[in-house]
Amino acid sequence: MDLAYSLSIEKAVLSSIIFNPDEIYSVSQILKVEDFFLKAHQDIFKTMLELHDEDMPIDEDFIRKRSVGKDFNDDILIDILTQILLQMLKHIVLKLKKIQNSE
Q: Which domain holds residue 57?
A: 3-102
pLDDT of residue 93: 84
pLDDT at 1: 53
Q: What is the pLDDT of residues 40-94, one digit of tens each?
A: 999 999 999 999 999 999 999 999 998 866 777 888 999 998 877 776 777 778 8
Say if residue 36's pLDDT is above 60: yes
C-alpha to C-alpha distance for 18 and 61, rounded to whole angstroms: 11
Mean pLDDT throughout 94-103?
Answer: 82
CA distance 80 to 93: 20
Q: Are 49 and 28 in contact (CB under 8 A)?
A: yes
CA dist 86 and 100 (Å) reads: 21
Q: What is the pLDDT of residue 5?
A: 58
Nearest to 48 by CA among 34, 71, 69, 64: 64
* Mean pLDDT (whole number) for 25-31: 95
Q: What total of structural domains would you count in the chain?
A: 1
pTM of the model: 0.77
CATH number of the domain that 17 lies in?
Answer: 1.10.860.10
